[in-house]
Amino acid sequence: MSHSDAQPSPTPLNAGEPAGLGGHGGNVTLVEGGTFCLSDRLGDVEPGKPQGLFFRDARVISRWELLVDGKKPEPLSVLSPEAFAARFVLRRPPQAGMADSTLLVVRDRLVAEGMHEVITLENMSREATAVVLEVHVDADFVDLFSVKEGRAGGRRAEMTTADGELLLHDRADLARGLALTSTVEPMVLPGTMIWRIVVPAGGRWQTEIAALPAGAAQRPPMQGSVGERYRASEPVKKIQAWRATATDITSDSLMLNRILRRSESDLGALQIHSDSGTGRPFVAAGAPWFMTLFGRDSLLTAWMSLPLETDLALGTLQQLAELQGETVDPLVEEEPGRIMHEMRRGPAVGQVLGGQIYYGTVDATPLFVMLLAECLRWGADPASIATLLPAADAAIGWITDFGDRDDDGFVEYVRATDRGLINQGWKDSFDGINFASGQLAQAPIALCEVQGYVYAALLARAELADAFDDEPLARKMRERAVALRTKFAEQFWLPQCGWYAVALDGNKRQVDALTSNAAHCLWSGIATDEHAEILIRHLSSPEMDSGFGLRTLASNMGAYNPMSYHCGSVWPHDTAIAVAGLMRYQHVPGAIELATQLSAGLLDAAAAFDGRLPELFCGFPRGRFAAPVPYPTSCSPQAWASAAPLLLIRSFVGIDPDVPAKTLTVRPRVPASWGIVRLADFRLGTDTIDMEVRGTEILTASLPEGWELVIE
């Protein structure tokens, strides 16, 4: 068997090959912090499916089915006002021979540390109706990885009942459990809660079920109506606090406003606050499978979210610095100065990773340094930045001592054991890095975008050195950056093709596929103007531009598959980074035109997905299918996809603050379809700025005294 045909050994790590789960495009995902619930559009969690309520990376509900008179209700609608709440509107199935039903069934679900569900029955008939309501529940307490990979088995919970309460326990670990209570006491049997109800003509009946995992915060039952309880809930308070501190970004485009509102909501719900006692915020990568801290994803999401606020970025940096590698441990690929890849807390974490933290990523470490300097420019507390400088120096040390494994001047990766991820850049599926022929690249692999990140990290460390009066270090970092940029142009550029090699393989061969990775070289600034102009022409081609965003791999490459994870699909964050890179090179012919085109396609895709961009979607050409085709196992909401519209706003408004210098540079190139873009309560350090932009004009800008506005 040739290597290109070989399948990788199964890995429990979060590489990009969701295994055999089947589509869950019809599912409803609710998320709040580290807790999430995945159900069907009835609100049910069916046994044997990749659904459930997940708490601390373990499934604490594997069955949650509602029956009305022994049958599943019929779905009418699903409404989700926020990422953590949904209303399932159902009806009792009509009687035989009847077209209509007179019993409305509504399930109001809210996810926090556990789940609350209010079930309301409303009788539309002119006579009373008898109803038997049942909720069937079970839990297998298996690890998230087991569910993701379809190997959960058929474990059942140990169940006991007492005083109307149903208690479920993990047979293998009694510390894991779930308690179920209801405001209207049911008949309780192992695995079942039953209510026998008579709903009067025109009347309503209601109960609230609380499902609280062991270890969750125990809060007293809330009082009042469903709406009052919803407004008083912890998730609502959290999202309100997030919105109170975030910049209010609006435009004349109703659809863009809707997309931005959804982004703000999802990013608020995906935030996790450190349980170390600091309360610092960071963002989980995405639901359903990545509800944890991820180095690369969390850093890029924080970068993209800077137009909203800086606290998320600073909290992410502080959390990652606390977990930065200190020793050499091949089992989890820890190395001194390395920024971690992912953190897990599920029951199988020791078997999977040998610990809670896995470090196998090549790009998080330079991204850490890049974001630290950006945070300073955007107004983060200089004292807090100063405390993170040792972490930045350790990260630069990792780049030098461990990242560049063969002293050729480039950072490459190869996994330390057969348990690690085969590919350790953002395209981390086993087949994500390939030649134009379709042949897989062999490690050690030096990715083009990673060299760009390292270049930007060196310049970022130089900028930080300038800010803290270390001129020798600033000069040294800039010299290294210049040398890297020169060497990169020599060894990665493919003059016969007109784009950058996606990588150098283990034999230093140029991996010659045309990919979206090359667009990241525009974002980081490592590309020369001469190369950028040629590259932009290829990125503008129908082989790369699907009409809904940039493909990860050109359609004329050997490994192209529009339904693949990384070889021809469209990733919103990837397209947004390409747009940001194009706007960085807006002086190069074709850059603004392509950026505008890609942005319009991506926002059209968001509109087709009801305002919420998923992790990825299929890369079919727009001319073939009028709407973007969903990728079956795509995460939604997903952090960097949710943040992608914010990066589009930043790129076209052209916001470039320098808070220490009290200078705001703006390069407005706002698409005509957006009309006026407004930023209100835009916080830069301790100051607040309001601004309105249209096209290439700054219509209004209220800057505090002492600030300088530079329009380019």
pTM (predicted TM-score): 0.86
Query: Tens digits of per-residue pLDDT, 172-212?
Result: 777 788 999 999 999 999 899 999 999 999 999 999 999 99
Chain mean pLDDT for the chain? 90
Query: Tens digits of per-residue pLDDT, 464-500?
Result: 999 999 999 999 999 999 999 999 999 999 999 999 9
Q: What angle do CA 10, 637, 78 make, to 5 degrees?
A: 115
| pLDDT value, residue 158 | 84
Q: If pLDDT is split at 50, 70 and 90, which confidence band does 528 have? A: very high
Q: Which three-class secondary structure state does DSSP give residue 27?
A: coil
| pLDDT value, residue 48 | 86
Nearest CA to 266 out of 245, 285, 294, 292 is that of 285
What integer is the mean pLDDT of 145-154? 69
What integer is the mean pLDDT of 7-35? 55
Q: What is the 3-state secondary structure (H, E, C) of 324-380?
A: CCCCCECCCCECCCCCCCEECCCCCHHHHHCCCEECCCCCHHHHHHHHHHHHHHCCC
Residue 11, pLDDT > 70, answer no
Q: If pLDDT is split at 50, 70 and 90, which confidence band does 615 have? A: very high
Q: Buried b vs exposed e over 380-414: b needs ≥16 C-beta within 10 Å?
A: beeeebeebbebbbbbbbbbeebbbeeeebbbbbe
Angle, helices 364-377 vs 389-398, to 10°: value is: 150
Q: If pLDDT is split at 50, 70 and 90, which confidence band does 27 have? A: confident
Q: Is 359 exposed, middle or buried (0-12, 13-18, 19+ CB in 10 A)?
A: buried
Q: If pLDDT is split at 50, 70 and 90, which confidence band does 217 have? A: low
Is residue 520 within 8 A of residue 581, CB to CB? The reply is yes
| pLDDT value, residue 23 | 34
Query: Tens digits of per-residue pLDDT, 672-697?
Result: 999 999 999 999 999 999 999 999 99
Instruction: Tell me the CA distances in angstroms from 698 to 329, 370, 653, 710, one per residue in order.
Output: 53, 28, 9, 10
Rounded Cα–Cα distance for residues 659 and 402 (Å): 34
Rounded Cα–Cα distance for residues 526 and 349 (Å): 38
User: Strands 248-251 and 503-504, how do they pair?
Assistant: unpaired
| pLDDT value, residue 4 | 34
Rounded Cα–Cα distance for residues 208 and 222 (Å): 10
Provide the H-helix boundaries in 356-508: 364-377, 382-387, 389-398, 448-467, 471-492
What integer is the mean pLDDT of 223-238? 69
What integer is the mean pLDDT of 558-562? 97
Rounded Cα–Cα distance for residues 454 and 369 (Å): 9
Residue 354, pLDDT > 70, answer no
Is residue 207 within 8 A of residue 183, CB to CB? The reply is yes
User: What Rg value do the Cα atoms of the chain yield, rounded?
Assistant: 26
Q: If pLDDT is split at 50, 70 and 90, which confidence band does 161 have? A: confident
What integer is the mean pLDDT of 578-587? 98
DSSP 8-class letter at 618: -
What integer is the mean pLDDT of 125-137? 96
**Poorest-confidence range of 78-82, 185-189, 412-416, 460-464?**
78-82
What integer is the mean pLDDT of 341-367? 76
DSSP 552-568: SB-TTSTT--TTSSSSS
Rounded Cα–Cα distance for residues 283 and 646 (Å): 15
Q: Buried b vs exposed e over 185-220: b needs ≥16 C-beta within 10 Å?
A: ebebeebbbebeeebeeeeebebbbbbbbbebeeee
Give, for 599, the enclosing helix (H) or strand (E): helix 591-608
Q: Which two tokens stand for residue 211?
A: 């499902």
| pLDDT value, residue 648 | 98
Is residue 643 within 8 A of residue 263, CB to CB? The reply is yes
Rounded Cα–Cα distance for residues 540 and 548 (Å): 13
Q: What angle do CA 147, 149, 152 make, to 5 degrees?
A: 40
**Poorest-confidence range of 20-34, 85-99, 335-349?**
20-34
What integer is the mean pLDDT of 70-89? 92
**Could you identify the residue written with the tokens 């390939």?**
434
Rounded Cα–Cα distance for residues 265 and 281 (Å): 15
| pLDDT value, residue 61 | 93
Is residue 456 within 8 A of residue 447, CB to CB? The reply is no
Is residue 279 within 8 A of residue 297, CB to CB? The reply is no
Q: Which two tokens stand for residue 326?
A: 């200190």
Q: Is 672 exposed, middle or buried (0-12, 13-18, 19+ CB in 10 A)?
A: exposed
Residue 238, pLDDT > 70, answer yes
Domains defined along the chain, listed by start = 27-231 (2.70.98.40), 246-694 (1.50.10.10)
Give the count of alpha carbons within 13 A of 242, CB side only.
25
| pLDDT value, residue 246 | 87
Instruction: Tell me the CA distances in angstroms from 629 to 25, 80, 258, 615, 638, one per residue in order.
Output: 10, 22, 21, 13, 17
In the chain, % of residues over pLDDT 70 = 90
| pLDDT value, residue 245 | 81
| pLDDT value, residue 216 | 66
Rounded Cα–Cα distance for residues 408 and 427 (Å): 23
For residue 634, give the amino acid letter: S
Instruction: Tell me the CA distances in angstroms from 70 to 117, 134, 189, 445, one per residue in order.
Output: 20, 8, 16, 58
Query: Tens digits of per-residue pLDDT, 265-310?
Result: 899 888 877 655 556 788 877 766 677 789 999 999 999 999 998 9
Residue 632, pLDDT > 90, answer no
What integer is the mean pLDDT of 425-439? 97
Rounded Cα–Cα distance for residues 601 and 595 (Å): 10
What integer is the mean pLDDT of 13-20? 41
| pLDDT value, residue 353 | 47
Q: Buried b vs exposed e over 322-342: b needs ≥16 C-beta within 10 Å?
A: ebbbeeeeeebbbbebbbbbb
* 550 or 24, which is more confident: 550
Angle, helices 295-304 vs 572-584, to 10°: value is: 50
| pLDDT value, residue 271 | 84
Residue 105, pLDDT > 60, answer yes
Rounded Cα–Cα distance for residues 588 and 382 (Å): 35
| pLDDT value, residue 1 | 34
Rounded Cα–Cα distance for residues 462 and 368 (Å): 14
Is residue 675 within 8 A of residue 653, CB to CB? The reply is no
Q: If pLDDT is split at 50, 70 and 90, which confidence band does 155 have? A: confident
Rounded Cα–Cα distance for residues 183 and 164 (Å): 10
Q: Is 52 exposed, middle or buried (0-12, 13-18, 19+ CB in 10 A)?
A: buried
Residue 643, pLDDT > 50, answer yes
